[in-house]
Structure 1
Amino acid sequence: MLKQVSLICFLVFSCYMGAESQELKHLTNELQVNVAASRVWELYRHLGISRLTAQQLQNVIQNVQVLEGDGGVGTKLKLTFAPGNSSYTERFVEVDDEKMVKVAKGLEGGCLAIGCSVQIVRLEIIEKSSGSCIIRSDIGYAVKEEFEANDPKPNIQLLAAAAQIAKRFLESSEISASV
């Protein structure tokens, strides 16, 4: 029964993403963290990484607002950036605890405001050993035909900064716990 539900969810997700997903360009950032993958996933799984990043980057992120949901699939999150009050809103479309993958689809703002037709953020925690893992952040995007000459791109710097913040936070917590 669970496999049937998983297959149905996959098919619905595939249809939701549409043919655009095959034409996506990608920006990817990877960072090794010397902490167990399960601990990193705990931070990324719900809203922890968003809140921690906003707390650490107050000069960049003015506000993180949960418009609906609790951090699981269907959660709608709005980031408001400082100082110009531009914003980005996304909906979590996949949260897979087994694969440690979280996927969000951009709804407005971000590269959607400058000519992209789709923006998909994929966060994946990849176990390397019992005490280390990789945080892989990927933004898939497609550009509207009329904006191709401008070559708009999303900015992966915020996701890279979030990974660095997670690394510092979790690795310092590991050191504190072992002392």
Structure 2
Amino acid sequence: MWKQFSLVFFVVFGCYMGVNSNPQPLKHLTNELEVHVPASTVWEIYRNLGLLKLAVQQNLIQSVRVLKGHGGVGTVVNVTFLPGNSSYTEKFTVIDDQKRMKVTQGLKGDCLAIGCSVQIIQFDITEKSDNSSVIKSEIAYAVKKGFEAKNPKPSIQLVAALAQLVKNFLENKNHA
């Protein structure tokens, strides 16, 4: 009886986890930008909802709705892009204060709407010196089977624009 249960459990678990599927390899898009402020200052904007709120204030995105959470791991947000005709929903999956790393997983919209099966965005804030840091933004994604010819992919331009926005905001704030 136990062997039958174990076999059934592993078959069901394997199907659930996609063992029988052939997952597509992740592709990566990366942007790096040096900022002339301490990494801890940059991290304070990136670590929770601050980045998205700043993007709305500076008219880089139209709006942000928090669907679940308060800015920590597990928070789900819906971002509406300008001019307001498309949106993207993501979940904060990792916020590591020691490594200054934040990871989000796309749930709906952006390249997921045009043929990607996975979209993961990772932000790393690295200290370069006491008054200088690097914002590394990376998008990892996979294309669904049958969509390879269309070559769907997310745009690195928005995360690059977010990094530039943070750079301008913080450097101008420090010189004010």
Give the TM interval when normalised to the shorter protein.
Answer: 0.7 to 0.9
Alignment correspondent of 2:119? 119
Task: Name which one, 1 or 2, has greater alpha-carbon Rg.
Answer: 2
| In 1, Cα distance between equivalents of 2:152 and 2:79 | 20
State the number of aligned residues: 158
| Deviation, structure 1 residue 54 | 1.8
Alpha-carbon distance change, 104 to 161 in structure 1, aligned in 2, over 3 angstroms: same
Q: CA RMSD in A?
A: 1.9
Counterparts of residues 19-58 of structure 1 (less than 5 Å): 23-58=25-60
Alpha-carbon distance change, 95 to 153 in structure 1, aligned in 2, over 3 angstroms: same
Letter in 2 for 1:41: W
Alpha-carbon distance change, 36 to 66 in structure 1, aligned in 2, over 3 angstroms: same
Q: Deviations over 1:42-62 (max 9, x none)?
A: 01111111111122125xx22
TM-score normalised over the length of structure 2: 0.85
Alignment correspondent of 1:94? 94
| Deviation, structure 1 residue 83 | 2.5
Q: Deviations over 1:135-179 (max 9, x none)?
A: 000000000011000000101111111101100111111112xxx
Are the equivalent residues in 1 in contact too, given 2:24–2:143 (CA < 8 A)?
A: no
- What are structure 1's unaligned runs of at least 5 residues? 1-15
Counterparts of residues 1-179 of structure 1 (less than 5 Å): 23-58=25-60, 61-176=61-176
| In 2, Cα distance between equivalents of 1:24 and 1:159 | 18
- Give aligned-pair identity as a percent: 58
- What are structure 2's unaligned runs of at least 5 residues? 1-16
Which structure carries more helix by proportion?
Answer: 1
| In 2, Cα distance between equivalents of 1:127 and 1:156 | 22
Letter in 1 for 2:129: S
Q: Deviations over 1:58-115 (max 9, x none)?
A: 5xx2211111111110000100123352110000000000000000000000100000
Alpha-carbon distance change, 93 to 153 in structure 1, aligned in 2, over 3 angstroms: same
Runs of 4+ in 1 over 6 A off after TM superposition: 18-22
Are the equivalent residues in 2 in contact too, given 1:120–1:139 (CA < 8 A)?
A: yes
Q: Deviations over 1:6-64 (max 9, x none)?
A: xxxxxxxxxx9x99998210000000000000000001111111111122125xx2211
